[in-house]
């Protein structure tokens, strides 16, 4: 938490950056100009209500003013965000949605600092130099296997990937983003590590985006804001993140196991060596599969896609990358993607098809993180009841329900 002098300096810097006079700020607050002067000099305390009102006037989250961030104003979070997402200038609805979530991230980061929990767990860094596309892909796949080992996932599918990432202290949520933007990774002292994905995309695409942005958190932490767009897909860091996402969601061993369960993925001819105890010798047996029985069909891809929670197309490309199919089979299967999606629908795998999600589902992990921190800060008397209710209002949590939960924590 910053002191009064630092808070005043930040308030003054933001006000001047917005081109407002002290008199204009005072009128908006309904206070004498001398009150604003004293706030900015650090000689007058700023109440929670005043800070909230100042945040609204200046267009910043309240948590930003309390963040122990010594970076110059030119490099602060919102300036960088505007540089990374220039299209937000002409999309006020998108800008509002992104600002709202970053506001919540800032609130959470401020609560963490109050509780001395700047990072609840250590997120490893795998920063390394890339020389070409081949190296980028190998790095992505290798680190994906290492992360699965570190997280104890084995070959199993990842259930709620947003929850998995959030468990390591990274803020995760889905927001309404520009159409050509699938996700954002942010690394800034005001929020810590944070991920946003496009809420308007389908469930499996969002899962892939979460894994992709998680790769940026592991590899590219020196970047303050990383935007994943259609037009930068050929960049080496994006190729590496895509390779990581595919391998993280569909591990080689897990794909092989699933194919074996449906009787696919084996060579058409195998030679088995057996020990003949009667003759004390080795006997070789030639086993041939029924012609065509090992060919991977669209329905096999659909089952594989459902198992790992990925799109039909992502499963097809992964099968080729793992050399279970060739380029010709891949092209044929991609040509059957509409049939594969109809098959998925018939089987009732609707979660692979539904577009969008209600806001509460898009922010479930973030709400869980913030609510836990807010109640703990209230229990330790780091925040007042009024501040708790302010955070609850931002999370759309009922006043009475929140107070009951928070008071119960104090009684424990």
Q: Which domains does the chain have, with CATH numbers?
A: 4-92 (1.10.260.40), 133-250 (1.10.10.2910), 254-348 (no CATH), 359-411 (no CATH)
Which three-class secondary structure state does DSSP give residue 244? helix
Element (H, E) at 171: strand 171-175
pLDDT of 295 above 50 = yes
Question: What's the pLDDT at 355?
Answer: 52
Using CA atoms, how far residue 339 sits from 111, 302, 318, 351, in Å, is: 49, 10, 19, 17
Backbone Cα Rg of the chain: 26
Distance CA 167, CA 176 (A): 23
Residue with tokens 């509409």: 338
Distance CA 351, CA 306 (A): 9
Mean pLDDT, residues 87-116:
83
Mean pLDDT, residues 226-243:
91
Question: What's the pLDDT at 32?
Answer: 93
Exposure of 113 in the CB half-sphere (CA atoms within 13 A): 18
Distance CA 138, CA 242 (A): 11
Question: What's the pLDDT at 135?
Answer: 94
Mean pLDDT, residues 247-266:
89
Mean pLDDT, residues 189-193:
86
Which three-class secondary structure state does DSSP give residue 174? strand
Could you say which DSSP state residue 351 is in? G
Angle between helices 33-41 and 22-29 (to 10 degrees): 110
Among left, alpha and beta (phi > 0; psi -120 to 50; other), residue 36 is: alpha
Residue 148 and residue 248 in contact, taking contact as beta carbons nearer than 8 Å:
yes
Residue 141 and residue 244 in contact, taking contact as beta carbons nearer than 8 Å:
yes
Residue 193 and residue 217 in contact, taking contact as beta carbons nearer than 8 Å:
yes
**Alpha carbon 275 to chain centroid, angstroms:** 53
Residue with tokens 């800034």: 188
Mean pLDDT, residues 371-388:
89
pLDDT of 138 above 90 = yes
Q: Provide the pLDDT confidence category of residue 72 given band limits of 50, 70 and 90.
A: very low
Alpha helices in 18-168 (DSSP H): 22-29, 33-41, 48-58, 62-66, 77-84, 92-114, 133-151, 161-166
Residue 319 and residue 278 in contact, taking contact as beta carbons nearer than 8 Å:
no
Residue with tokens 């308030």: 11
Distance CA 167, CA 365 (A): 9
If one compares 204 and 284, the residue with the highest pLDDT of the two is: 204
pLDDT of 211 above 70 = yes
Tell me what the pLDDT averaged over the chain comes to: 84
Question: What's the pLDDT at 16?
Answer: 75
Strands 225-229 and 192-198: unpaired
Question: What's the pLDDT at 233?
Answer: 83
If one compares 258 and 14, the residue with the highest pLDDT of the two is: 258
Structure-block tokens of residue 273? 């060596």
Residue 84 and residue 75 in contact, taking contact as beta carbons nearer than 8 Å:
no
Question: What's the pLDDT at 249?
Answer: 96
pTM confidence score: 0.76
Distance CA 367, CA 395 (A): 7
Using CA atoms, how far residue 248 sits from 36, 379, 388, in Å, is: 52, 38, 38
Mean pLDDT, residues 353-382:
78
Could you say which DSSP state residue 222 is in? T
Q: Provide the pLDDT confidence category of residue 74 given band limits of 50, 70 and 90.
A: very low
Q: Provide the pLDDT confidence category of residue 64 given band limits of 50, 70 and 90.
A: low
The string of DSSP codes covering 246-274 is: HHHHS-HHHHHHHHHHTT-SS-SEEEEEE
Distance CA 161, CA 179 (A): 22
Mean pLDDT, residues 166-183:
89
Q: Provide the pLDDT confidence category of residue 55 given band limits of 50, 70 and 90.
A: confident
Residue 225 and residue 186 in contact, taking contact as beta carbons nearer than 8 Å:
yes
Mean pLDDT, residues 238-243:
96
């Amino acid at each position: 938490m910053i002191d009064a002098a630092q808070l005043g300096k930040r308030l003054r810097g933001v006000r001047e950056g917005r081109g407002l006079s002290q008199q204009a700020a005072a009128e908006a607050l309904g206070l004498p100009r001398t009150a604003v002067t004293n706030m900015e000099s650090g000689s007058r305390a700023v109440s929670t209500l005043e800070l909230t009102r100042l945040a609204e006037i200046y267009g910043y989250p309240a948590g930003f003013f309390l963040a122990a961030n010594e970076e110059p104003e030119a490099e602060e979070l919102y300036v960088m965000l505007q540089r990374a997402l220039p299209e937000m200038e002409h999309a006020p609805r998108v800008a509002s949605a992104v600002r709202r979530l970053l506001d919540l991230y800032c609130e959470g980061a401020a609560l963490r600092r109050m509780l001395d929990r700047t990072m609840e767990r250590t997120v490893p860094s795998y920063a390394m130099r890339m020389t070409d596309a081949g190296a980028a892909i190998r790095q992505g796949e290798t680190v994906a296997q290492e992360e699965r080992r570190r997280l104890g996932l084995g070959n199993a599918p990842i259930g709620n990937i947003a929850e998995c990432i959030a468990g390591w202290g990274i803020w995760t949520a889905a927001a309404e983003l520009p159409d050509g933007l699938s996700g954002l990774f942010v690394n800034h002292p005001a929020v810590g590590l944070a991920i946003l994905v496009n809420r308007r995309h389908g469930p499996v695409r969002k899962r892939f985006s979460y894994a992709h942005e998680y790769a940026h958190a592991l590899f590219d932490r020196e970047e303050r804001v990383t935007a994943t767009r259609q037009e930068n897909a050929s960049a080496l860091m994006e190729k590496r993140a895509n390779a990581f996402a595919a391998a993280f969601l569909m591990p080689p061993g897990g794909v092989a196991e699933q194919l074996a369960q449906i009787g696919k993925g084996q060579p058409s001819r195998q030679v088995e060596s057996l020990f003949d105890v009667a003759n004390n010798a080795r006997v070789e047996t030639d086993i041939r599969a029924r012609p065509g029985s090992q060919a991977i069909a669209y329905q096999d891809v659909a089952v594989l896609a459902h198992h790992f929670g990925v799109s039909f197309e992502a499963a097809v490309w992964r099968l080729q990358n793992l050399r279970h199919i060739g380029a010709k089979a891949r092209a044929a299967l991609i040509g059957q993607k509409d049939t594969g999606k109809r098959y998925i629908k018939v089987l009732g795998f609707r979660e692979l098809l539904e577009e969008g999600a209600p806001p509460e589902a898009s922010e479930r992990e973030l709400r869980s993180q913030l609510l836990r921190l807010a109640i703990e800060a209230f229990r330790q008397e780091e925040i007042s009841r009024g501040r708790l209710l302010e955070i609850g209002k931002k999370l759309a949590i009922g006043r009475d329900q929140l107070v009951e939960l928070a008071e119960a924590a104090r009684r424990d």
